Amino acid sequence: MQLPRELVREDCRRLSTKPGTLHKLQGKVLLVTGGTGFLGTWLAEMIATLNDDHGFGVRMILLSTSANQFRSRMPHLGNRNDVTLLQADTANLVDLPPEVTHILHAAATPDNQQHASEPLRLIRSAVTGTQMVLEAATRLSGLKGFVNISSGLVYGPMAVDARPVDERIFTGLDSSLITSTYAEAKRMGEQLASVYRSQHRLPVVNVRPFAFVGPYQRLDRPWAINNFLRDALHNGPIRIHGGGQTVRSYMYGADAAWWLLTMLARGEVGSSYNLGSDEAVDLSQLAHKIAGLLPNRPKVTSGLLGEGVPRSSFVPSITLARRTLGLEISTDLDMALRRTIQWNQNIME
């Protein structure tokens, strides 16, 4: 039986077969805000692989409000000499370690349940926190790169039959709806990044994430794929809320980490890039895919909330990243689901 950390390291090694494309990061100091979350943990795993297998010599600083718990929760990363944990809230940030050369700003949870229950806290994190990080970055004399992680939700709602959205297409957001808070806050974060790039010459690149799947993603999060996996791993049934026609795509964690590091090392300052998979799937297809990967093939039920559940599409075009950065999806959806199921089965034993 493959141990969970061995499975993740195997994924990182599969992605990092051409480490030369990230040569600008060698010997540098990378700070990740929100560094103990899903993306931050995958970034730490990828940097650890580059350091151990390719002698990259990157030092990583993981800044988070839960950094103190990370060492006990993830000792194989938290106790490494090339990883420093920094307990801090970005909204209260004053200064960053002066040796930092690159920043990946990933703070602010995408959990829509928290958005609805604590919208002011969300704004504080996503807007005030972003400005404080940008302001602190202006005092770093050796700063070479800054990736502001925004959200694909800034494009606005997309109809279920919409084409994959590229970086130039925006629809309107209804600011009277509490459900628009996260997208509006992320839009403001992008505007702040643009202002600091213009006024302070910060080397900022915006990245707009879509949906992810993989190890380190908690199955109690309020997203369809997490719920489907949780239901399946507990022998079903897999429950679809609504008719299942909503369309999504899912990027595997290892791909996300590699793409982010590439965008940090080689992204064009002032540009915005989508981060996600363009392999679209509706929720009914997704639920049946997951069921087919379990030996007991759990039953799939739908329409629990009726057919009136709003249907939408959330799928990016990744043509820009492919054309300008040479990036490709290395983990298709079937493989991503198999790896995620295997990892969760291992940690449940």
CA distance 317 to 103: 25
CA distance 225 to 228: 5
Contact criterion met (CB below 8 Å) for 132 and 91: yes
Amino acid type, 133: V
Amino acid type, 168: R
CATH code reported for the domain at 4-343: 3.40.50.720
**Burial environment of residue 175 by CB neighbours within 10 A (0 to 12, 13 to 18, 19 or more):** exposed
Q: Structural domain boundaries of the chain?
A: 4-343
pLDDT of 176 strictly over 90: no
- Flag the least confident range among 111-115, 123-127, 227-231, 325-329: 111-115
For the entire predicted model, the pTM comes to 0.95
Q: How does DSSP assign 63-106, residue by residue?
A: EETTHHHHHHHSHHHHT-TTEEEEE--GGG-----TT--EEEE-
pLDDT tens readout for residues 276-313: 999 999 999 999 999 999 999 999 998 765 555 567 89
pLDDT tens readout for residues 201-259: 999 999 999 999 999 999 988 889 999 999 999 998 999 987 678 999 999 999 999 99
pLDDT tens readout for residues 1-52: 456 889 999 999 999 999 999 999 999 999 999 999 999 999 999 999 999 9
Residues in Cβ contact with 192 at an 8 Å cutoff, skipping those fewer than 6 apart: 127, 130, 131, 134
Helical pair 333-348 and 283-292, crossing angle rounded to 10 deg: 50
pLDDT tens readout for residues 49-104: 999 999 999 999 999 999 999 999 999 999 999 999 999 999 999 999 999 999 99
Q: Per-residue confidence at 175, pLDDT binned at 50, 70, 90?
A: confident
Q: Per-residue confidence at 115, pLDDT binned at 50, 70, 90?
A: low
CA distance 63 to 88: 6
**Residue 329 region by backbone torsions, left for phi larger than 0, else alpha for psi between -120 and 50, else beta:** beta
**Burial environment of residue 189 by CB neighbours within 10 A (0 to 12, 13 to 18, 19 or more):** buried
